[in-house]
Structure 1
């Protein structure tokens, strides 16, 4: 099976045609009853680029293991911004023995009486390990104050300590990357509708998600304050535009590869 000549747009290059006639390209071409060449080309290029980047992530992990490097990557952003999907692409092919995805539940009564950062300190990586936080200590910067889950004093205490906390992490020979996945209000609404209408995804909706659109401006206010105070030269925020999931995933992985100075290990 190959690309029907009647469906070939005039602006396709020979390289584009070769990509579309590959097994991956043909799979995307004939995924739907109506052939959409532009979409098929875009998705094939994404899949090929993603595979190449994931191969480099395997090399990065081997380097981290051999050299006992510690890596922390935070995935923050609005609900339905694509954090989980990006994490799945980052971890798809690396060794599960040497990475952890941390998505902490509501703190226990005991944890509520501890120093706020304690439960996160307990999750930091061992030498040779990568830890990916699906939401992190920055819950207290945005989600908690917006939804009334912390007091104003707890919020101010957090904001007064977080930069020093991150400095200590970095000075303990740990790489720290902070991603913020940003989406438009319209795209968030569209994704929520998709989740609610899909019986396989309904479980993703939480009471906090249900109020996200209503509290959009409050989230924005606290997000801006978070950036103003915690986007430092030592520990900057990397903003990923998430309206197009495929582009966001590639951008995040490429940033990791470009900013951790790994070398290929045998």
Structure 2
């Protein structure tokens, strides 16, 4: 059995949900440790279109405090940003003490879509491959914990996910002409990814590949790996005491008909449910 085949078996929903909840509780513990110790954590999520990065990020951040954990998904650079040092706009979004930053795609756009689609020159591309390892070493030397994940998916599974998005009105917005280009340029993206790994898979900031044929399995695996690489410890929190409600004073609430209320459409659903029984 191939490596991909062994990691594409569907994980049962029951086992997935149980383990996911346990891991999410550990993520909350990890975040508390990051905050209390003033640590800085950067997580780079890269991979092919429809490989499952976005859904993994959603599960990863579901219970985390958004005040100290944020997702950065940068849009196309502005005219001004195009004249800056390439890494400059990413530097501005790096974490301060006690923060976690997750890049939903990152500076590696230059090694992927920009390279394949011709959005950068060969000189800019070569400069990136030279500077990226230096840039990341500087981050690590300054104390930032840097984790880089590549979500890997087969061309057959990617195609099936694109078709699923097309059939789902709630997810069609995820499809873009650029995404569909990844179908006809599969081999070009593969070569670009291979060359990117050659230059940027360095000891101080290695790449970790996440097999993502089964999204449930990939979410469990990436969260579990992240937790295993961060040296967090349990932080005892001083829980606040909920005060006793004071006795009723002289306040009287104004009549309800003086305010505008949102219609209770949910009540209609309850009535329909009772009629159906």
State if a TM-score over 0.5 links the two structures: yes
> 1:163 pairs with 121, 133, 157, which one?
133
**C-alpha distance in 2, partners of 1:139/1:206?**
16
**C-alpha distance in 2, partners of 1:96/1:229?**
33
Q: Who is 1:53 aligned against?
A: 23
| TM-superposition CA deviations, 1:72-97 (whole Å, max 9, x none) | 00000000000000000110001111
RMSD: 1.2
Greater than 3 Å deviation, 4+ residue runs: none
| Long gaps (5+) in structure 1 | 1-38
Q: Who is 1:67 aligned against?
A: 37
Q: Who is 1:178 aligned against?
A: 148
> 2:118 pairs with 113, 127, 148, which one?
148
Instruction: For CA contacts below 8 A with separation 6 or more, give which structure has more relative contact order.
Output: 2
**C-alpha distance in 2, partners of 1:185/1:248?**
17
Compare CA radii of gyration and give the structure with the larger one: 2
Within a 5 Å distance, the mapping from 1:216-235 to structure 2 comes to 216-235=186-205
> 1:205 pairs with 169, 175, 179, which one?
175
Within a 5 Å distance, the mapping from 1:79-98 to structure 2 comes to 79-98=49-68
* Structure 1 residue 130 corresponds to structure 2 residue 108: no
SS at match of 2:233: coil
Kindly state the Cα deviation for residue 261 of structure 1 after the two structures are TM-superposed. 0.2
Contact 2:42 2:95 in 1 (8 A): yes
**C-alpha distance in 1, partners of 2:178/2:224?**
31
Kindly state the Cα deviation for residue 207 of structure 1 after the two structures are TM-superposed. 1.4
* Structure 1 residue 119 corresponds to structure 2 residue 97: no
Give the TM-score, by structure 2 length.
0.81
Kindly state the Cα deviation for residue 114 of structure 1 after the two structures are TM-superposed. 0.2
**C-alpha distance in 2, partners of 1:227/1:114?**
25
| Long gaps (5+) in structure 2 | 1-9, 237-277
SS at match of 1:96: coil
SS at match of 1:212: helix
SS at match of 1:222: helix
Kindly state the Cα deviation for residue 48 of structure 1 after the two structures are TM-superposed. 0.3
Contact 2:130 2:199 in 1 (8 A): no
| TM-superposition CA deviations, 1:8-30 (whole Å, max 9, x none) | xxxxxxxxxxxxxxxxxxxxxxx
